[in-house]
């Protein structure tokens, strides 16, 4: 009796149509799309904005360095920026180490 039941159950399980193979990749594709829109795309946008800020450096801008120093730009060339940290204190820094360009003190910070 039990062998007949097992035979019927195995026949019923084998008789069902299996889903197409490509459906197993749908969750992976969905995860990639979610990561793209939530993580990768915003990070690329921030990186592009930062590169534009650094490329647009000019004499007189106030910048924040990667080390946390607030300085005024004295001279800019292709790879370096000469920064004034205080009276008679100048340093030469790589432009890539500049973290942010600080807006003028009179500008609203909205």
48 belongs to a structural domain: yes
Q: Which tokens is 83 given?
A: 């920064």
Q: What are phi and psi of 66, to 5 degrees?
A: -65, -25
Task: Kindly report, residue by residue over 4-44, the tens digit of the pLDDT.
Answer: 776 766 665 555 567 788 888 899 999 999 999 999 999 99
Is the whole-model pTM more than 0.85?
A: no
pLDDT of 103: 85
pLDDT of 18: 72
Residue ranges making up the domain that contains 26: 17-102
Number of structural domains found in the chain: 1
Q: Please, are residues 72 and 60 in contact by the beta-carbon 8 Å criterion? A: yes
Q: Which tokens is 36 given?
A: 């793209």
* pLDDT higher at 104 or 55: 55
110 belongs to a structural domain: no
What CATH number does residue 46 fall under? 2.30.30
93 belongs to a structural domain: yes
Q: What would the mean pLDDT of 96-100 be, rounded to a whole number?
A: 91
């Amino acid at each position: 009796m039990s062998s007949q039941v097992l035979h019927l159950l195995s026949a019923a399980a084998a008789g069902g149509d299996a889903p197409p193979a490509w459906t197993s990749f749908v969750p992976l594709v969905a995860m990639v799309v979610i990561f793209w829109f939530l993580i990768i795309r915003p990070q690329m946008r921030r990186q592009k904005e930062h590169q534009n800020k650094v490329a647009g450096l000019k004499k007189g801008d106030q910048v924040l360095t990667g080390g946390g120093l607030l300085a005024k730009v004295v001279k800019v060339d292709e790879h370096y920026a000469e920064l004034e940290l205080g009276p008679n204190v100048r340093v030469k820094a790589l432009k890539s180490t500049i973290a942010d360009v600080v807006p003028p003190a009179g500008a609203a910070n909205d």
